Amino acid sequence: MDKIKNLIAKLIINVLDENINEKDILEKIEVPKDNKNGDFSYPCFNLARVLKKSPVVIANEIKEKIVLDEKLQKVEAVNGFLNFYLNNTNVLEDVLKNILEQNENYGKSSEGKGQKIVIDYSSPNIAKPFHLGHFRNTVLGSAIYKLYNALGYEIVGINHLGDWGRQFGLIIEGYKRFKDEYDLKKEPVKVLAQIYARMNKIAKEDESVMDIARDNFKKLEQGDKEAVALWEYFREVSLEEYNRIYDLLGSKFDSYNGEAFYNDKMDEIISILEDKKVLEDSQGAKVVNVGDDIPPCIVLKSNGSTIYATRDLAAILYRVRNYDFTKAIYVTATDQILHFKQVFEVAKHLVDKKYQEGLVHVPYGMVRLKSGKMSSREGTVIYINDLIKEAIEKSKKIIVEKNTDVDDIDKLAKQIGIGALTFNYLKSGKIKDVIFDLDDTLKFDGETGPYVQYTYVRTKSILDRANFNIKNIDAQNIKFDLLKEDEEINLVKELQKFQDIIRKSANSYEPSILTRYIIDISALFSKFYNNCKVLSCEDEYVKQARLALVYATSIVIKNGLTILGIECPDKM
């Protein structure tokens, strides 16, 4: 893919009189969504500035002068775009050989080498249940983590735990009062959440409870032994539970430094802001003005205490110093859009411009149940543990009904259940609200995880039945030029886009692009398999070429799903 982009960039440069950087051209070459607009397209808009002509004129001029290589069939100039069409026979062979050769590395690149990306994701509040929203956050963040990793960046995953704040004073009090009434061994986080809810109710009726809570939190801040020990216990049992979920999802974190970690790092922030004279008084609170269209960012409350934003400011400075990042990404629900706008504005006073410009907030929409069940206010939160359990159990039932012959049914049920949940969250654009229904996500047809996993299993079973083993096959001897059917060509052309899709997905923080691409590949594969004989193909050469195409498809689906955090079962 990149080979062809390089080629096109060179051909364009060759006909330009002006001195233009090849890289600038290369970066702009895109793969059009619709094949009607060619296989590659170059928008001439950037050149317009340099050449002082309209993009339309430039496109026409280049089209007249350009000398095409054998890999390209034709070029058209349309509205300032140059649309390049590949010479199929030549290119299909290149693409497929490349996929077979690179195998599990196909799609990866090293363009991010030497650059670090920090991604702050999942970040639940301890002693509170991990619910559907956190789950969406975690699969989204994990996918972005793996997308950038595939592009060669070094990634630092940070779980910025919500492990600080006055609520811990309340939980400490509740724990002391009620711990004997509950079984804390079995599901400690659920119990702590219940105790917290109970204490909130009590505090509404009895104001003195809030004073006790405040006092407890003060003790915690000052390092009181008992308070700290309890807080550590809350944190530990919460992390134990979250880690079980992260293991199931294959999510990686390099740091669990949460809000508490910044407790002793906020004074510096206040003094920097003071030195820069940007800290202003507002009704007793200390704030930083961040422009006319958004409210000022509160840094110290009127009682002198710090808030969530203060800790995020300290975290930015810490991450700049310790990670020297190219980008620092934050994944949270849309309700924190304003928070990050404010914090990123204040960061201008704390860190160099290049770091401040690397701060990115990636917001995602709400998750609702089809049955309308999810509301934390009514106490009908769906615990993700329960949901995962249900998904796995239902998958197991389906496997039994289908009479699948597998050795480890529990492993397969896990792969399908978790894959289905993950896929469902990733397939819609991140900002969209997701309406969730477990039975829909577990369907074996339609745009679901099981459907793409099943497509993968089909490719495997075809290859097995044909005794196709890439180790025994010399790709040089496969006659790829025998692949001439539309279904074959369309599939190969789509497989070719893989790296570009990864890049687009990463750079727009939108794993749904990759997810939908895998759905497209699966659909194109079905079309191909329905229309072209593979196992029963009489011509041995055509059969080998088609098997190689099946194998290439399996590689792309597997590599793609791996980035999304979804496993590929061998049988289903």
Applying CB under 6 A, which residues contact ligand ARG?
120, 123-125, 160, 162, 312, 315, 330, 332
DSSP class of 133: H
Q: CB of 96: closest distance to ligand ARG in angstroms?
A: 43
Shortest distance in whole angstroms from residue 336 CB to ligand ARG = 7
Distance CA 498, CA 487 (A): 18
Q: Please identify, using beta-carbon distances, which residue of 123 and 342 lies nearer to ligand ARG.
A: 123
DSSP 3-state of 135: helix
**Cβ proximity to ligand ARG, 188 vs 258, nearer residue:** 258
| Residue closer to ligand ARG, measured from CB, 88 or 123 | 123
- CB-nearer residue toward ligand ARG: 116 or 503: 116
Position closest to ligand ARG via CB: 162
- Judged by beta carbon, residue 262 or residue 498, the one nearer ligand ARG is 262
Four-residue CA torsion sign, 495, 501, 503, 509: negative
Task: Tell the smallest beta-carbon distance from residue 123 to ligand ARG (Å).
Answer: 4
State the minimum distance, in angstroms, from the CB of residue 333 to ligand ARG. Answer: 7
Closer to ligand ARG at the Cβ: 362 or 418? Answer: 362
The first and second tokens of residue 75, run together, are 């070029």
Nearest distance in Å: CB 163, ligand ARG: 9
The span from the CA of 499 to the CA of 124, in Å, is: 32
Determine the Cα–Cα distance for residues 459 and 555; give it in Å rounded to an integer: 10
Q: Among residues 261 and 498, whose Cβ is nearest to ligand ARG?
A: 261
Nearest CB to ligand ARG, comparing residues 161 and 300: 161
Q: Which of 507, 448, 252 is nearest to 499 (CA)?
A: 507
- DSSP sequence for 354-412: HHHTTEEEEEE--EEETT----TTTT-PPBHHHHHHHHHHHHHHHHHHHT---S-HHHH
Least distance to ligand ARG, CB of residue 330, Å: 5
Residue 219 tokens read as 């003790």
SS3 429: coil
Q: Which is nearer to ligand ARG, 125 or 422 (CB)?
A: 125
Closest distance of CB 335 from ligand ARG, Å:
8
For residues 303, 304, 309 and 314, what is the CA-based torsion angle, rounded to 10 degrees? -160
Cα separation, 420 vs 450, in Å, equals 6
Q: How far is the CB of 76 from ligand ARG (least distance, A)?
A: 47
d(C-alpha 398, C-alpha 404), whole Å? 9
Instruction: Judge whether 545 and 479 are in contact, CB under 8 Å.
Output: yes
Whole-number minimum distance, CB 339 to ligand ARG, in Å?
Answer: 7
Tokens of 400: 């039994």
String of DSSP letters for 512-561: HHHHHHHHHHHHHHHHHHHHS-STT-S-HHHHHHHHHHHHHHHHHHHHHH
The span from the CA of 511 to the CA of 516, in Å, is 9
Cβ of residue 332: shortest distance to ligand ARG, in angstroms? 5
Measured from the CB atom, the residue of 156 and 463 that comes closer to ligand ARG is 156
